[in-house]
Structure 1
Amino acid sequence: MDVNSDITGFHAEPGFHHEARYEIKVHFDGADQETVTYRFSFGVPEASGRQPLRLHTLTGSDAREDSAEGVLVLEGRAGETATAAGVRAWAARPGSLLRRPGLARRRQRRRGGKHRGGPDLLESSGRTELLRRDHGGSDRPRSPSWPRRVAARARTGVWCATKLATDAGGWRQINRAGNPMMWPIFWPDDTDFSDPASTRHPSEDVAAFGGTIADRVAKVVAATGTSADPAGYGRTVAGQLLPDVLPYVIGTPASFGFATRNGRTRADNAPEAMMSLVTNMAVPSGLTPATTEAQRTDQFPSRTGVSTRGRGTDCRPPSPFARPLASTHVTY
């Protein structure tokens, strides 16, 4: 889950918002509602600049309730790997995950020497929250803190939400994300976070936006001539992307590409895969897994494999509601 991306330059402020919640939500077996929520919260930065963090788990109906407190799983500090009862979590600025020498200069040349504002899909670097568990086999001993016994091959859908405390004492969802690249493709002008999609629950996606996505994709493939049935292709794409949760089958190799969308690894070129899907034609970027090979390690939280941290490729500008905090996406 990437937040507060530095693609906005001086607009990005350090640290996490101490009056916000950063939640990772998990659906099982195609359910409309989440069964597990991992809720990160942060304290006011210490004199050293480090921030205390807390991770709560909420299960069952509590996973969908802002008023539920959940179970405190661990406490730690941003910038350090926190561990407790078989759980590992990490939250901090990860550094420049996809920034490579020459990319900015090449873009400036393509833009006539000017670096325009707005999302730069290949140079963003967010502050990342990550929770990783080793699910293993269904017969493996587990910590009592694990909220649900998860069998191998269980189908999950994952999304994340950023929520801000309100003056009335409640919580307001101000941003969310599931599949990568949804906002740059379908809401590219929503720089002020005013689109209702930011506050929706995924269970509302098909009714609220399914027809719109289908129509937009149909117009694109009709213009390019890449489908004999543009309307049918548009409906197919909308059905694959909505509800906007990232699918993953526990215990299987993660891959976000042309053949399958099953979780995502840091080596996957999600922008290329998504653009090719919605246009029904190859949209090569020239970036291969070797592009970020030097930045991938076997150490947590940069571990490759089933559960990995995102690359910040589809971050949005910061929220106008408070300190910038809400440019989010999640990859598993």
Structure 2
Amino acid sequence: MDSRDVTTDVISMIILTQAVVGTLGNFSLLCHYTILYITGYRLRSTDLIIKHLIVANFLVLLCKGVPHTMAAFGWKQFPSDAECKLFMYLHRVGRGVSIASICLLSVFQVIVVNPTKSRWAELKVKAPRYIGPSISLCWILQMLVNINFLIFIRGKGSDKNITDYKDFGYYFSIRHDKTKDVLFAVLLSFPDVSCLGLMLWASGSMVFILHRHKKRVQHIHRTSTSTGSSPESKATKTILLLVSTFVYFYTLSSIFQVVLALLDNLSWFLVSGTASIAACFPTVSPFLLMSRDSSVHSLYFAWIRNAKSPTSMRNM
């Protein structure tokens, strides 16, 4: 087996592992919220955004990971033209909603952590009511913006004769002149860049508010031996961790996407590497959220106590 085959197999295994681990992680987080809802636990306003983020993560992982894994391991029967269009379209919609969800989380949290006496006070009361319509608008916007993928993508199982195309492994992308490519790239990038700008502004604002709050608390509790963090501070730190992780992987993914757009002849290593990087955040994010969520820990310990109690009673 030559080095190219080994590299291809390694990347394929990474993509398959990401799809499996990421799907299990997001499914576990979804089950967690389902249990909270059934048991009557009062959900936070941001939990609705996180549930939509979970759905978006599923779309990114499954619609990209499954076809790439099939192609990498030499699956002879490629998805049909309609299936390829659908896979690519849902992947792009999921990716866009994922970006928008993180943006909404960060903007909502910066409104929540602002002091009550500030000019944000009135918006802080109204903000929870705007979450549902905002996330619905994100889905609709992404469905409209990415509709071009249903037109310009061709599956390898397609019976149409295509002469000028780019090969992405399991599907073709029809080439256009440079002007159309630039306009298409601007159309796709504008929502993402806008969300990224809002994210960075919100993250900077949260860091400033947390720093100011910490100084105020230190001043008030100068003689105290320990000061606990407020729930708002903990939630803000979780969202800052989520945003910084997202920005890191999104920047890497964007660099690879630009390289793919500039090159004419694409290698399988580059195409698969780009798909793997795009799947990193949807794979990691549910575990970040669960590790920082106190309700996950409380449910786990309650389950442990309930599991041990029958044994304890039998031993009495």
- What's the TM-score once normalised by structure 2's chain length? 0.25
Structure 1 or 2: more helix by fraction: 2
The higher-RCO structure (CA 8 Å, 6+ apart) is: 2
Structure showing the higher strand proportion among its residues? 1
Indicate the structure (1 or 2) with the bigger Cα radius of gyration: 2
What's the TM-score, normalizing by structure 1? 0.24
